[in-house]
Structure 1
Amino acid sequence: MVLKKLKTYGELVMFSHTLFSLPFALISMLWAANGLPDIATFFWILVALVAGRNGANALNRWVDRDIDKKNPRTADRHLPKGIVKGSEVLWIVGICYALFVLAAYQLNTLCFLLSPVALALFTVYSYTKRVTWACHLVLGIACAGAPVGAWLAVTGQFALTPLMLGAVVLLWVAGFDIIYGTQDIDFDRNNAIYSIPARFGLKNSLLIAKAFHFMMWILLVALFFVMELGIFYLMGVVLSGALLVIEHRLVDPDNKRKMNVASYHINQIVSMLLLVSTVVDLIL
């Protein structure tokens, strides 16, 4: 019974999608420590990343519960169908947010002091689609905190590298979130939901997403020079660029399977590919 409930909660927050920002945070951590940091730091970074991401996603599900119920594409989610109660979701949010603050406290003073800023971003994002089409960028900024936070956890100070890596995540996430949002253009327009696809239309939105991903790729190349990295990292960057091209060629808002591959599956491979190439580069 307990395992079944945990499985349901994992599906609610889409736990498997933790793979999106996690690899970039680990890359930042590895660069900051020039390898693996001490076990305690590594552990609390993982706790912060998992707790923050899943708490934010649970809150997003709760905030969007009425919108999801109206949208045929999302009407079968856990809250609209009554599989979980709203109070349960809020408990998940509270526990995850508390764990995030605890992890920040365990890491260092700067991380602890900045933890309310991160939680504010997690929380504000869920409401942005009601007020601005720039909601995709707000999501990107919230996710960009992962590599910046991981660097701060190791070094306790800001630097150019984590900010560049944060910009990579911002552009990457905003780009594929725009792609995902093209499925709901008509629904968003009819229900006063703000998004780049609803504001600028399908063709222009896909051009914006391509521009974001191109800028992301240029930043990854720039990091090769800034960090004086090796050939294995560069190979990962080249392959990730090829995957992003495939992603954009797959986009078809009328085909849910293709959209899931383009918006989610390929991007999970992109982030893991970059992490693996970074690790190999450090080792060899």
Structure 2
Amino acid sequence: MTDPTGIDRPLPDAIPGNWLDTYAPRAWRPYLRLARLERPIGFWLLLLPCWWSAALAAGAAGQYPNVWHLLLFFIGAVAMRGAGTAYNDIVDRDLDAQVARTRHRPLPAGQVTARQAAVFLLALCLLGLLVLLQFNRETIWLGFGSLAIVAAYPFMKRITSMPQLVLGFAFAWGGLMGWSAVFGQVDAPAYLLYAAAVIWTVGYDTIYALQDIEDDSVVGIKSSARLFGSRVRAGVGGCYAIAVLLLAGALATAHAGITGWLGGAVFAAHLAWQVKSIDPGNGQLALTLFKSNRDAGLLLFAGLVVDAVLRAS
């Protein structure tokens, strides 16, 4: 029996043999793919600045990291990353149909309608709202503040050569929220951590955009990978260097201990390895390097958690 819409066909950048393509009910697969649940790297990259900020704030306050907050951030990141990708796919469905890597996504492939995708988007937003309401008032208002950036992002690739910067403003927002959840306000370390996460996002998403650079040139989609061109290694390296300097500022102003700085050093070393490994013509390697940022971020988080625990003990 043929599968004209491709519901049974895994997407090109999905993890081989992932649970969604193997076990999820067939009728659910288009919606789960809208939320990118078979590609968890996205919610990890949204989650990590939240966790960094929460752990850095706990250390600064002399407290153990709040496990309940970490869990809420995890659930919220999964829900809001899914909402963001569903919204992005609704906006970009015509462009996605013209790019090899994205033309089999649920909307351009005809697996769901735009109306069905919008209903799914609303459900995810309601889940995200429920999570947000568990925090203090200042953090709730801060969470709402990210919505305008999220709404604007899908249109940026049409009008600016640096849409990755706008993505960074959205994806790094947790760098403010984790701190606010502890202190009820945003202080210098959080602003510096947020800025570091913004520039980190520009770097890793430039690597990601290398996969589509040829199709993007034909279709007219703008990206930092196209902007940097043959200097992409230097461009990503510059972004990562700035991110590390801003991170050092956050650690210094939060008076982080030795293990926090060690986590930052390991994070920086991982980013340097990525820059050294970049091959602009190798899309599969670009995807591997992009995904490795989860591990880089978790190494930094581990250092901040240990630092907080030691300072609270």
Q: Same fold (TM over 0.5)?
A: yes
Q: Does 1:277 align with 2:299?
A: no
Question: Which ranges in structure 1 are unaligned for 5 or more consecutive residues?
Answer: none
Q: CA RMSD in A?
A: 2.4
Q: Does 1 or 2 have the higher relative contact order (CA < 8 Å, sep 6+)?
A: 2
Q: Name the amino acid aligned to 1:268.
A: R
Q: Does 1:267 align with 2:293?
A: yes
**Alignment partner, residue 230 of structure 1:** 257
65-74 or 137-146, which moves further after superposition?
65-74
Structure with the higher helix share, 1 or 2: 1
Match of 1:240 among 245, 264, 267: 267
| Counterpart Cα distance in 1 of 2:272 and 2:143 | 36
| Counterpart Cα distance in 2 of 1:112 and 1:282 | 24
**Alignment partner, residue 10 of structure 2:** none
Report the secondary structure of 2:270's partner residue: helix
Contact 1:175/1:210 (8 A) holds in 2: yes
Match of 2:98 among 70, 86, 96: 70
Residue 113 (structure 1) shift: 3.0
**Alignment partner, residue 257 of structure 1:** 284
Change (3 A) 1:90 1:223: same
Report the secondary structure of 1:222's partner residue: helix
Question: Which ranges in structure 2 are unaligned for 5 or more consecutive residues?
Answer: 1-19
Deviations 1:203-256 (A, max 9, x none): 234322211101111222233322222222222222222221221233234323
Report the secondary structure of 2:159's partner residue: coil
For these two proteins, the number of residue pairs brought into alignment is 281
Residue 258 (structure 1) shift: 0.7
Match of 2:147 among 92, 111, 119: 119
Residue 57 (structure 1) shift: 1.8
10-19 or 209-218, which moves further after superposition?
10-19
* Mapping 1:1-284, distance limit 5 Å: 3-4=24-25, 5=27, 8-15=30-37, 16-17=40-41, 18-33=43-58, 34-37=63-66, 39=68, 41-198=69-226, 200-264=227-291, 266-284=292-310
Deviations 1:55-107 (A, max 9, x none): 11221122222212111122233333334443332222212222333333332
103-112 or 54-63, which moves further after superposition?
103-112
| Counterpart Cα distance in 2 of 1:60 and 1:100 | 17
Change (3 A) 1:271 1:43: closer
Residue 8 (structure 1) shift: 5.0
Contact 1:62/1:79 (8 A) holds in 2: yes
| Counterpart Cα distance in 2 of 1:8 and 1:117 | 30
Residue 42 (structure 1) shift: 4.8
| Counterpart Cα distance in 2 of 1:162 and 1:27 | 10
Contact 2:99/2:216 (8 A) holds in 1: no
Q: Name the amino acid aligned to 2:152.
A: V
171-180 or 97-106, which moves further after superposition?
97-106
Q: Name the amino acid aligned to 1:276.
A: A
Report the secondary structure of 2:146's partner residue: helix
Change (3 A) 1:165 1:201: closer
* TM value normalised by structure 1: 0.88
Report the secondary structure of 1:80's partner residue: coil
Deviations 1:101-130 (A, max 9, x none): 333333232233344321221111111111
Report the secondary structure of 2:97's partner residue: helix
Deviations 1:167-201 (A, max 9, x none): 11101111111122233333223322222233x34
* TM value normalised by structure 2: 0.80
Contact 1:45/1:153 (8 A) holds in 2: no
Identity %: 27
Report the secondary structure of 2:158's partner residue: coil
| Counterpart Cα distance in 2 of 1:44 and 1:239 | 27
| Counterpart Cα distance in 1 of 2:198 and 2:148 | 17
